[in-house]
Amino acid sequence: MSRRVGVLWVAVAGLVVGGCAIGPDDEPRDIEREVIDDLPLAPAGGGAAATGTGRIYLLAPDAPASVTMLRAVARDVGSDPRARLEALLLGPNSDELEDQFRTSLPANLRLLDVRRRAGRVLLVDVSDEITQLTGDALIAAVAQIVFTAAGLSDVRSVELRVEGVSTQWPAGNGELRSEPLTIYDYPGIEPSTQPPYPGLPA
């Protein structure tokens, strides 16, 4: 290699390395709008990021296959019941799926209406895809809705309708109920609702 070619190669290499180097900023700077638009707002698993003070209930990953157990996960939805239930319908996010969280709610289930009613009752109206579920899957799906809604401080029970029509729903023991459902209709399905064992006699 001639001296002239060698000098040229060093100069080009210096430009490439210098052009790719990222030096520290002396002060904060704005990120270009197109870069922000390309950032994912929710993980690619359906559900939103697990942040915030709101809670939705998913099927716990460490429960035996024959046992329905729920566990709360965080969502940034505040105290808006519609936002909370829509977050529930999105299901687990990618990290939660990796950790084996699941949902019993149909993927195409839609939230049609949410209204607070007297007596701390939340009316929840969903599309008819939920009627395709039976047995334990239906119990788990209804329990997910009830526990998620009951996480709101002003909600005690849930009146669940399908396409505007009142229907009966199974409690945790399989018995059909016509009245609004509470978390106490599903004892033991979430650890905090398990009734305490009676104390031992002295």
Reported as a single tens digit per residue, the pLDDT across 33-61 is 443 344 333 334 455 555 567 899 999 98
What residues contact residue 32 under an 8 Å CB cut-off, 6+ apart? none
Q: What is the pLDDT of residues 105-116, one digit of tens each?
A: 999 999 999 999
Output 64 or 138, whichever has higher pLDDT: 138
Average pLDDT, the chain: 79
Predicted structure pTM score: 0.70
